[in-house]
């Protein structure tokens, strides 16, 4: 399917898997649970994050089943609140935030810069244990009967009224937050100090730039949400008055603190995805990413401006007109670096010799869906329109276009792109293409109707809606049908990727003929990543002219 570059592989012999590599270098459970190898830690995350994704997905299906009919006939209102909260908490804190950085970032950051490991391998392992501890708190909450505040823990409901397990959930998110802070710290120190000779800042792959920017947000933002959640816990348990007016607190203060982290957090979710897309677009257009420097700086720009826009979640609170207009303006501003990326990926495709392999299908899907998510974000940043669609399904559709159409598609694209490197095996390309198409169709059928529903006024977080509104039911049924299709599309990769890991054909070091240090070592890589430390002499994405 791909022309094999003769300088990479001896074309007379089929690709082989090295006899000793990171997967089989040592054996036994202890060699995995106490590993300091970033690649093995990435796999530990892969198993646990995938499990949480499955759990979050089951809750999503329950939400959609309930809404397939107008009456609240499947779940009680109380259970419904717990189900959508569980879906939101699991998806945000245990899937979207760790997925790309903790799995793909962990595996690839050292490989892409020519390092042997991350700067602090023990802290890296500790991060996984923190993530698991936070996850166990979350599982305990589910077993004990759940939590009903929504993943945003809005006060004073969460501190004064809710009878559910707010404290334990908040502690779970708190502990998992430290895993994120440590990962960010590890990436920043690694990128600063462990680059191979010749890997200058202007030769860094864009995946690395995006992880650098993400790490800054992780380190600067996550402590704020950690403190905020602690304040909720203290107010609930000790009745300290931070947020509850009865105790002399201010509920809007909670929203400021929460969104000061949680808006930048959406960039923790999507920036690493943008890094993945840059790698895939370059490899499958056989061209350097157009405007490399602009794309790299756009990551930093997004990280920076992302901290200035939290107030767009609060247009309907008592915000002053001046504050609202400022936040609206800054929200429009943050669209610019995102738009730069979309334009530059598109310009990279232009006149490239574009190959439509499965990772590229995901990347193209990402570009389209993220654009829709981003543009509808501008609708929400326009104050007048936000007043109309605030807390409706329009918002649900918007953030799913960004988080599922964006982050999840980038994650799947990246997983397919680097699967041969991670496992040393090739998966079935026809199956991969089929499921990419199913995901795309199912996704749009699920979430596009929700824009219309929201515009028509259907509020989010309700477990029933008026039966007289026939069009509401039609749109909800379409959305629920789409969710089933999407579920199939998301389940298939689990099967053929796992199958490939055991039974696939050997991939060879560089099955896509891509450029980048990670493709210059064996698949799977040895424990130390490279037999000899690579020396970098060329810019990123140096696709030789004869391949155009």
Q: Report the nearest approach of ligand HEM to the CB of residue 54 (Å).
A: 11
118 three-state secondary structure:
coil
Token pair recorded at residue 103: 């799995």
Would you tell me how many other CB atoms lie within 10 Å of the CB of residue 544?
Answer: 11
User: Which pairing describes strands 425-426 and 505-506: parallel, antiparallel, or unpaired?
Assistant: antiparallel
DSSP result, 216-229: HHHHHHHHHHHHHH
Would you tell me how many other CB atoms lie within 10 Å of the CB of residue 391?
Answer: 14
Token pair recorded at residue 235: 């107010």
Q: Which is nearer to Cu ion, 40 or 263 (CB)?
A: 263
Report if residue 259 touches ligand HEM, rule: CB under 6 A.
Answer: no
Residue with the two structure tokens 């299709």 = 485
Report if residue 70 touches ligand HEM, rule: CB under 6 A.
Answer: no
Choice from 309, 397, 409, 483 touching ligand HEM (CB under 6 A): 483
Using only C-alpha atoms, what is the Rg of the chain? 23
Token pair recorded at residue 6: 């003769």
Show the site string, 413-442: x = touches ligand HEM by CB under 6 A, - = not. Answer: ------------------------------
For ligand HEM (CB under 6 A), the number of binding residues is 24
Q: Which of residues 265-284 bind ligand HEM (CB under 6 A)?
A: none
Report if residue 150 touches ligand HEM, rule: CB under 6 A.
Answer: yes
* CA dist., res. 369 & res. 400, Å (int): 10
Q: Which is nearer to ligand HEM, 236 or 400 (CB)?
A: 400
Q: Is 510 exposed, middle or buried (0-12, 13-18, 19+ CB in 10 A)?
A: buried
Residue with the two structure tokens 């210059």 = 520
Could you tell me which stretch among 90-98, 188-196, 203-211, 328-336 binds ligand HEM (CB under 6 A)?
A: 90-98
Q: Report the nearest approach of Cu ion to the CB of residue 59 (Å).
A: 23
Report if residue 91 touches ligand HEM, rule: CB under 6 A.
Answer: yes
Could you tell me which stretch among 224-232, 302-310, 401-409, 413-421 binds ligand HEM (CB under 6 A)?
A: 401-409
Report if residue 389 touches ligand HEM, rule: CB under 6 A.
Answer: no
**Residue 151 binds which entry of Cu ion, ligand HEM, none, CB below 5-8 Å type-dependent:** ligand HEM
Choice from 335, 460, 505, 542 touching ligand HEM (CB under 6 A): 460
**Residue 497 binds which entry of ligand HEM, Cu ion, none, CB below 5-8 Å type-dependent:** none
Q: Which is nearer to ligand HEM, 303 or 486 (CB)?
A: 486
Choice from 38, 40, 87, 313 touching ligand HEM (CB under 6 A): 87
Residue with the two structure tokens 């609708």 = 379
* CA dist., res. 118 & res. 110, Å (int): 6
Q: Phi and psi of 400, rounded to 5°?
A: -70, -35
Q: Which is nearer to ligand HEM, 63 or 206 (CB)?
A: 63
* CA dist., res. 446 & res. 139, Å (int): 27
**Residue 107 binds which entry of ligand HEM, Cu ion, none, CB below 5-8 Å type-dependent:** none
For residues 4 and 507, is the Cβ–Cβ distance under 8 A? no
Report if residue 60 touches ligand HEM, rule: CB under 6 A.
Answer: yes
Choice from 36, 390, 461, 505 touching ligand HEM (CB under 6 A): 461
**Residue 402 binds which entry of ligand HEM, Cu ion, none, CB below 5-8 Å type-dependent:** none
Could you tell me which stretch among 28-36, 58-66, 227-235, 259-267 binds ligand HEM (CB under 6 A)?
A: 58-66
Q: Report the nearest approach of ligand HEM to the CB of residue 403 (Å).
A: 5
DSSP lists the bridge partners of residue 459 as 392
Could you tell me which stretch among 174-182, 221-229, 382-390, 399-407 binds ligand HEM (CB under 6 A)?
A: 399-407
Token pair recorded at residue 479: 């959305």
For residues 507 and 425, is the Cβ–Cβ distance under 8 A? yes
Alpha carbon of residue 512 to chain centroid: 24
Residue 121: which H helix or E strand, with range? helix 121-144
The residue ranges that bind Cu ion (CB under 5 A) are: 263
Q: Which is nearer to ligand HEM, 304 or 437 (CB)?
A: 437
**Residue 263 binds which entry of ligand HEM, Cu ion, none, CB below 5-8 Å type-dependent:** Cu ion
* CA dist., res. 533 & res. 244, Å (int): 58
Residues 6 or more apart whose Cβ sits within 8 Å of residue 314: 252, 255, 256, 259, 327
**Residue 461 binds which entry of ligand HEM, Cu ion, none, CB below 5-8 Å type-dependent:** ligand HEM
Q: Report the length, in residues, of the chain.
A: 548
Choice from 25, 61, 234, 492 touching ligand HEM (CB under 6 A): 61
Would you tell me how many other CB atoms lie within 10 Å of the CB of residue 47?
Answer: 10
Report if residue 396 touches ligand HEM, rule: CB under 6 A.
Answer: yes
For residues 506 and 17, is the Cβ–Cβ distance under 8 A? yes
Phi-psi region of 248 (alpha: psi -120 to 50; beta: other; left: phi over 0): left
**Residue 218 binds which entry of Cu ion, ligand HEM, none, CB below 5-8 Å type-dependent:** none
Report if residue 96 touches ligand HEM, rule: CB under 6 A.
Answer: yes
State the residues that interact with ligand HEM by CB under 6 A. Answer: 60-61, 63-64, 84-85, 87-88, 91-92, 95-96, 150-151, 396, 400, 403-404, 408, 446, 460-461, 483, 486
């Amino acid at each position: 399917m791909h022309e094999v570059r003769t300088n990479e592989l001896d074309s007379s012999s089929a690709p082989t898997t090295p006899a000793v590599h990171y997967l089989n270098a040592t054996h036994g459970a202890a060699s995995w649970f106490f590993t300091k190898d970033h690649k093995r830690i990435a796999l530990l995350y892969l198993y646990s994050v995938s499990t949480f994704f499955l759990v979050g997905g089951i809750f999503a299906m329950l939400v959609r089943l309930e809404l397939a009919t107008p009456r609240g006939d499947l779940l009680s209102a109380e259970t419904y609140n717990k189900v959508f909260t569980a879906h939101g908490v699991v998806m945000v804190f245990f899937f979207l935030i760790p997925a790309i950085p903790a799995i793909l970032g962990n595996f690839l950051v050292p490989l892409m810069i020519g390092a042997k490991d991350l700067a602090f391998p023990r802290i890296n392992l500790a991060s996984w244990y923190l993530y698991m501890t936070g996850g166990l708190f979350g599982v305990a909450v589910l077993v004990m009967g759940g939590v009903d505040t929504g993943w945003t823990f809005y006060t004073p409901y969460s501190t004064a009224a809710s009878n559910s397990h707010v404290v334990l959930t908040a502690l779970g998110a708190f502990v998992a937050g430290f895993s994120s802070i440590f990962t960010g710290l590890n990436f920043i120190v690694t990128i600063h100090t462990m680059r191979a000779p010749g890997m200058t800042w202007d030769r860094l792959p864009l995946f690395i730039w995006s992880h650098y920017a993400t790490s800054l947000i992780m380190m600067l933002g996550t402590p704020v949400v950690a403190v905020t959640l602690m304040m909720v816990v203290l107010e609930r348990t000790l009745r300290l008055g931070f947020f509850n007016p009865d105790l002399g607190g201010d509920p809007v203060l909670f929203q400021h603190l929460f969104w000061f982290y949680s808006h930048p957090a959406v960039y923790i979710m999507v920036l690493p995805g943008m890094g993945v897309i840059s790698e895939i677009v370059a490899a499958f257009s056989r061209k350097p990413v157009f405007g490399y420097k602009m794309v790299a700086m756009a990551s930093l720009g997004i990280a920076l401006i992302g901290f200035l826009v939290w107030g767009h979640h609060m247009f309907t609170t008592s915000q002053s007109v001046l504050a609202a207009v400022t936040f609206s303006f800054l929200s429009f501003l943050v669209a610019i670096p995102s738009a730069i990326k979309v334009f530059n990926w598109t310009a990279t495709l232009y006149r490239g010799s574009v190959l439509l392999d499965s990772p590229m299908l995901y990347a193209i899907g990402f570009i389209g869906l993220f654009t829709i998510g981003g543009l509808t974000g501008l609708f929400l940043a326009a104050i007048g329109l936000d007043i109309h669609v605030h807390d409706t399904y329009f918002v649900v559709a918007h953030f799913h276009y960004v988080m599922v159409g964006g982050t999840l598609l980038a994650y799947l694209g990246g997983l397919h792109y680097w699967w041969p490197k991670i496992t040393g095996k090739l998966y079935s390309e026809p199956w991969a293409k089929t499921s990419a198409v199913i995901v795309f169709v199912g996704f749009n059928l699920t979430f596009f109707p929700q824009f219309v529903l929201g515009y028509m006024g259907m509020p989010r977080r309700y477990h029933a809606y008026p039966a007289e509104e026939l069009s509401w039911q039609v749109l909800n049924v379409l959305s629920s049908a789409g969710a089933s299709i999407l579920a199939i599309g998301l389940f298939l990769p689990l099967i053929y990727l796992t199958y490939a890991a055991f039974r696939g054909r050997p991939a060879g070091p560089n099955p896509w003929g891509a450029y980048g240090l990670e493709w210059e070592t064996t698949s799977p890589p040895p424990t130390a990543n490279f037999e000899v430390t690579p020396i970098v002499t060329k810019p990123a994405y140096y696709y030789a002219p004869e391949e155009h």
